[in-house]
Amino acid sequence: MIAPCGLALVVLLAGSGIAPASPIYVASQGAGTMVALDSGSAPPGAPLPVARTPAQIAAGPEGRLYLTHPDTRQITVVDGRAGSVLRTLSVPGQPFGLAVSRDGSSLFVGDWSGNRVIRVSAETGTVAGEVAVGKDPAALVLDRSGRLYVADRESRQVSVIDTTRMARIATVPVGEAPFALALDPAEERLYVANVRDGTVSVVATADTRTIATLKVGGMPYGVAVSEDGGRLLVSNQQGGTLVVLDARAGTVQAVVPVGRYPEGVATAGKRAYVANWFSDSVSVIDLDTLRETARITVPEGPRSLVIPQEGAR
């Protein structure tokens, strides 16, 4: 009974133009800070200093956020609700992409130059397992069953990991220099942004196979799927645009100009958010009109942003 009520409330809020309280967390690599944005166009609150050069950010349960620091071999653990740093973990290698286990106890961390994924305790950073993947693991995405997908950037493949055994169960050939990943809500399709050949690979998760390659152009550096699964949102870093595609047909619906060197993309409800690395801003895109409705200044060098899932915040 509780769940349908919550859903109704969200729909009501969206319909009346009142934004639900879903913060967008942005990691700024140059500034070494994290900021929280509301879902509208208000400027962020005070930046939270973290360790140097945070690259990627991921959300866990209970409002927790995790940021990787490849240059300092650290992971910052943030309490998003309190807006404070809880602890800074030391981890081996060059931590870049990361994913959080459903219960929040483990982090899966890509070791960029070590060509492996390690599993560490979210409490202590202690290594609990590792598995070899391809060269230069970039994005990591975990599905609800505990299967982990890893974009092996310089191996032109996605590694598929069974995290219960920390064993690689498949490798899927994709485009050139896969960097970002997104699962559709049903977790039937994995979308892979290939930086160097300007495409998005569509992987069927049931048989771990690439079933389509969509032409985007430029340098796709970020990808997100709309909540209804119908649209793909792809940042084209070279073009300074967000490319909106019909997820089923694979056709381009709109090319929306954003800031310079856009990278991370996240979406919730009727809006998409794009981290403009060069411009030090976040673009807000209205998914009904397919236009940029706001550009919010954030600390220097935003590359990654995340919107915690419903129930996690």
Partner 1 sequence: MRLATSTAFLLLLATTALAHGPTPQKIDQSITIAAKPDAVWAVLGTFAKIDAWHPQVAKSEGTGGNGADARRKVTLKNGGTLDEGLDELNATTHSYSYRLSDPDLKALPVSSYTATITVSPDGAGSKVEWLGRFYRGDTGNEPPEELSDEAGKVAMNRYFADGLKGLKAKVEGAGQAAP
Judged by the rule CB under 8 A, the positions of this chain that interact with partner 1 are 29-30, 53, 55, 70-71, 73, 94, 96, 112-113, 135-136, 153-154, 177, 217-219, 237-239, 260-261, 277-278, 301, 303
Name the residue nearer to partner 1 (CB basis): 36 or 305.
Answer: 305
C-beta of 39 vs 115, nearer to partner 1 = 115
3 phi/psi in degrees, rounded to 5: -60, -50
Q: How many CB atoms lie within 10 A of CB 8?
A: 10
> What is the smallest separation between the CB atom of 93 and partner 1, expressed in angstroms?
9
Query: Rounded distance, CA 103 to CA 213, Å?
Result: 34
Rounded to the nearest whole angstrom, what is the least distance from the CB of residue 88 to partner 1 in the complex?
Answer: 17
**Residue number with CB closer to partner 1 (149 or 261):** 261
Neighbouring-strand partners of residue 109: 98, 118
To partner 1, the closest distance from the beta carbon of 31 in angstroms equals 12
Using DSSP's 3-state secondary structure scheme, residue 5 falls into helix
Separation of alpha carbons 275 and 294, rounded Å:
12
CB of 150 to partner 1, least distance (A): 15
Across the beta sheet with 116-121, the strand order is: 95-100, 106-111, 116-121, 127-132
Cβ closer to partner 1: 71 or 187? 71
Between 142 and 177, whose beta carbon lies closer to partner 1? 177
Looking only at the bridges linking them, the beta strands covering 281-286 and 291-297 are antiparallel
Q: Do 116 and 108 meet the contact criterion of CB atoms below 8 Å apart? A: no
Q: Least distance (Å) from partner 1 to the CB of residue 29?
A: 7
Comparing CB distances to partner 1, the nearer of 185 and 257 is 257
Judge whether 221 and 195 are in contact, CB under 8 Å.
yes
The HSE-up count of residue 159 (CA atoms within 13 Å, CB side) is 25
Shortest distance (Å) from residue 292 CB to partner 1 = 18
Give the nearer residue to partner 1 in terms of CB position, either 70 or 80. Answer: 70
Give residue 272's Cα distance to chain centre.
12
Beta bridge partners of 204: 189, 209
**Smallest distance from the beta carbon of 273 to partner 1, in angstroms?**
20
Nearer to partner 1, 222 or 239 (CB): 239
The two beta strands, 48-49 and 281-286, are unpaired
d(CA 96, CA 67): 9
Minimum CB separation from partner 1 for residue 222, in Å?
14
Tell me how far apart the alpha carbons of residues 134 and 243 are, in angstroms, rounded to a whole number. 28
